[in-house]
Amino acid sequence: MEIYLDNAATTALGPEVIEAILPFLTTHYANPSSAHGAGRKVKEAVDNARRTVAGLLGASPEEIYFTAGATEGINQALTGAIQAYELNHVITSRIEHKAVLQTLNHHEKEGDIETSFVKLDERGNVDLYHLENLLRANPRTLIALMHGNNEIGNLTDIHAISVLAQRYNAIFFTDTTQTIGKVRIDLQAGDIDFLVGSAHKFHGPKGAGFIYINKKHHLKPLIYGGGQERGQRGGTENIVGIVGLAKALEVSYRTLEASHSKVSKLKQYLISKLAISGIEGICYNGESKSIENSVANVLNVSFPCLSTGSIVTKLDQIGIAVSGGSACSGGGASHVIQALACEADKENVRFSFSKFNTFEELDQVVDAIVRIYESDPTIATTKAWKSIASWA
């Protein structure tokens, strides 16, 4: 059995993406900076990719810079903004991705900034009143708050935050790694200063991403070199990644509603199957159970009497790939779950779907989980999993 339910960690390449990148792996291999026809052809592909990404997001092509993924874009946005505007205060949350938290931690240790953490409710939603209070007390702040959480799926109202940012003259960076290609983002509709995307989260290649830098900003590069990306990022471009990213985003936008509907149904189906599985006391973390308030493809579950390690390992042994919290947390307790003031057990399993998953796969996953309970002597003898419902 091979069932892949770890699509928040990474996704399979889409068939149209494979078709689009093949020529750039075979015949179109020239350097886009070269002054010959072969090079110009490849440069044209990069320009087209930039126009595609910009067009889909409501940005200008000049505002899109290709990177090696979201982590690089996050480092560029945060470090670039802190340095360019000599900002000494950043507002973030305890449930951001480590790429944000570690970058800010570095700047704090260097003495560049002070970090304030916005309050979250018990489900991990940003307290906008607290955010406004922090902004009022700290004018000219950088806000770093994500759009879709990679572990619990929570969607943040980035439009409301951008309005607050404008009101208090703050700069707003949002990590849209989990929402690009899944939720329509129109950069004309709000005032976002920087955002990032990563192709491998929406059926594009790994190691390719982009940063949107609103044209009113000029950031120093993170990587100096031969002047590529209009001087913003040195190094020969990852053509395969860039072409694949643009194609993957184009396909995602073309099929967005259908994919969203399919993936939402998968989530609802898994919830309903678990509800009749006989396992009592299942707890859903954050907003992940809610279709409206979370990214459709993430469901974060705590199972009674089973540790993250044991369930992830047991499912892995029979070919089912899920994640315990976040693949990027490198094991150990999840900082996201720990930040929730919820009574739930800190052990959690993240199921994350894609349009390529099927309902039959979810039937097999629930059957497998029930079998884990039935075959575990410690749980089976006490039947505790049937009766412990205290943190449901």
* Chain position whose Cβ is nearest to ligand PLP: 69
Establish if 150 lies at the interface with ligand PLP (CB under 6 A).
Answer: yes
Closest separation between CB of residue 272 and ligand PLP, Å?
27
Given a contact cutoff of 8 angstroms between Cβ atoms, the answer to whether 313 and 338 are in contact is: no
User: Which residue carries 């199972």 as its tokens?
Assistant: 303
- Residues numbered 330 to 369 that lie near ligand PLP (CB under 6 A) are none
Q: By C-beta, is 330 or 377 nearer to ligand PLP? A: 330
Site string for ligand PLP, 226-265 (x = CB under 6 A): ----------------------------------------
DSSP run (H or E) holding 321: strand 320-321
Among positions 14, 69, 80, 153, the unique one binding ligand PLP when judged by CB under 6 A: 69
Site string for ligand PLP, 103-142 (x = CB under 6 A): ----------------------------------------
Nearest of 187, 177, 236 to residue 210 by alpha carbon: 177
Q: By C-beta, is 89 or 200 nearer to ligand PLP? A: 200
37-57 vs 239-254: helix axis angle to the nearest 10? 30
Establish if 70 lies at the interface with ligand PLP (CB under 6 A).
Answer: yes
Given a contact cutoff of 8 angstroms between Cβ atoms, the answer to whether 228 and 278 are in contact is: no
Is 283 a known active-site residue? no
Establish if 146 lies at the interface with ligand PLP (CB under 6 A).
Answer: yes
Nearest of 66, 18, 72 to residue 46 by alpha carbon: 66
In angstroms, the CA 57 to CA 43 distance is: 21
Closest separation between CB of residue 214 and ligand PLP, Å?
19
Query: Which pair of structure tokens corresponds to residue 94?
Result: 């305890």
Given a contact cutoff of 8 angstroms between Cβ atoms, the answer to whether 76 and 209 are in contact is: no
- Sign of the dihedral defined by the CA atoms of residues 90, 95, 99, 102, in that order: positive
Q: Which amino acid is at 183?
A: V
Establish if 7 lies at the interface with ligand PLP (CB under 6 A).
Answer: no
Tell me which residues are annotated as active site.
328
- Binding-site ranges for ligand PLP (CB under 6 A): 69-71, 97, 99, 146, 150, 175, 177-178, 198, 209, 328
